[in-house]
A and B are shown apart, each in its own frame.
Chain A
């Protein structure tokens, strides 16, 4: 109560003599609107200009379809890490319990939880993600940590020259039952 009284200015002090320099409420709000409008307009124009960056002139993308060598370049039962840096894939040759077939399958190196790259631990025979501890079997099936689904597999076929050809543009997800599709697995 008393605080409110204190805040009120003394009545006689509100005396305006110079009406030319006085800013009215209406005038202030008008100028404020103009100012904010100009700011919003400038921001919009700049935002529109930035759209150009979404369409670069040159796009350096690694090829999505590539040959990785002959089937015999891959050893039986070994998780091949040679293609990890260049193409972002792990190549495994051997019996695949997930589909009950023997041959070659190609796993994505991206953890299905948050996208880190797991590490292959040979002695524990598992992929272990350093970010939140997700673990995957050699087949790509998730079994520990928070990863909600198995690693993705990529299309793998035999090219005409007998090399193994991988297509990262086509992925196969276990939870959708896609691993049993013909090109998700290369029978050797």
Chain B
């Protein structure tokens, strides 16, 4: 048991967890018709439940999971997992029916009903049920109130509300104006823009997967990997000093990690060329600025000619540019993370003189 815990702790680094999650995600996207089968999912659920029971025997993990703040995350994980599986299973089923020229699930069993009274009644009952649930929740779990706020004392670790922990994790890799303002704005605006960017009528009103594999993958990557996974990492694995801890590792505020980070300009001028940073800011950060502009401006036409060729023909020019921009903005987080983990890169463009770091 102890040996297993040590192995899991040793395996649990941001790099391994993130990359293995991405790998699992890619496999699921690739072989979805196999992954959603009960024959695959039932063992996965059994292993997850047994693993959780094993993990709960650990004092530290037990305390962490049963914290009133953290219980919603466990509930969220179960519901997100179930509903994602449910939708994808239906989608795979419909794909099969389409390929066999049979009617869709939605056509076969027409379950359409009137909004009034059917939907409104259900919504009203849900409203009452949730209110009752929240009342009992607030009686059962005390709010984690602390002493009056003091600007010179920051609790260690200082954590955002659980649903914002993904944003807090993003702040480890980006400047506040990017991770706190631009990216959250892009997430909201981008989600609102989705129906206007994507004019493809396939999948409207029925579950589907194969026809919309790219878009479904695009969305689920953003939601499951970039949002839910980061919440889990932020909740269970970030401890004092925002250091990374394994699930069974005691939170030691004195944990030392080799985290000496450098900017791209320092890497280039000091480490490679060995001549010191130039005085001129534009010269100093020139390479970083070119890299960022190239990423945002030169990459979309390249993508249009290669992996997004089909998409480029389906979408109009402006739609494709917006889609590409949102896509590249989303990918910038994993890129930044991997650069931080591998070469300790802090900022690609670093102009602290004007609060401008990317």
Query: Which positions in A face B, CB cutoff 8 Å?
Result: 84-85, 88, 109, 112-114, 116-119, 121, 123-124, 128-133, 135, 143-146, 148-149, 175-176
In the complex, the answer to whether B171 meets A132 with C-beta atoms within 8 Å is: yes
In the complex, the answer to whether A119 meets B156 with C-beta atoms within 8 Å is: yes
Chain A neighbourhood of B173, CB < 8 A: 146
Chain B neighbourhood of A133, CB < 8 A: 172, 241-243, 259
Report the nearest A residue to B347, measured CB to CB: A148
Chain A neighbourhood of B204, CB < 8 A: none
Bound Cα distance A75, B253 (Å): 25
In the complex, the answer to whether A145 meets B172 with C-beta atoms within 8 Å is: yes
Partner of A135, one of B155, B158, B259: B259
Report the nearest A residue to B157, measured CB to CB: A130
A148-B175, A175-B352 in contact; A85/B156 too (CB < 8 A)?
Answer: no
A-B contact pairs, 27 of them (CB 8 A): A117-B151, A117-B153, A119-B241, A119-B253, A121-B241, A121-B254, A123-B254, A124-B256, A129-B241, A130-B155, A130-B242, A131-B157, A133-B172, A133-B242, A133-B243, A133-B259, A135-B259, A143-B260, A144-B260, A145-B242, A146-B172, A146-B173, A146-B174, A148-B175, A148-B350, A148-B352, A175-B353
Report the nearest B residue to A144, measured CB to CB: B259
In the complex, the answer to whether B154 meets A116 with C-beta atoms within 8 Å is: yes
B interface residues, tally (CB under 8 Å): 35
Bound Cα distance A135, B260 (Å): 9
In the complex, the answer to whether A85 meets B153 with C-beta atoms within 8 Å is: yes
Bound Cα distance A146, B174 (Å): 7
Output the residue of A130, A135, A176 with the most chain B CB within 10 A.
A130
Partner of B171, one of A112, A114, A117, A121: A114
Task: Across the A-B interface, give the 6 residue pairs with the lowest CB-CB distance, nearest first.
Answer: A133-B242, A144-B259, A149-B352, A130-B156, A128-B241, A117-B154
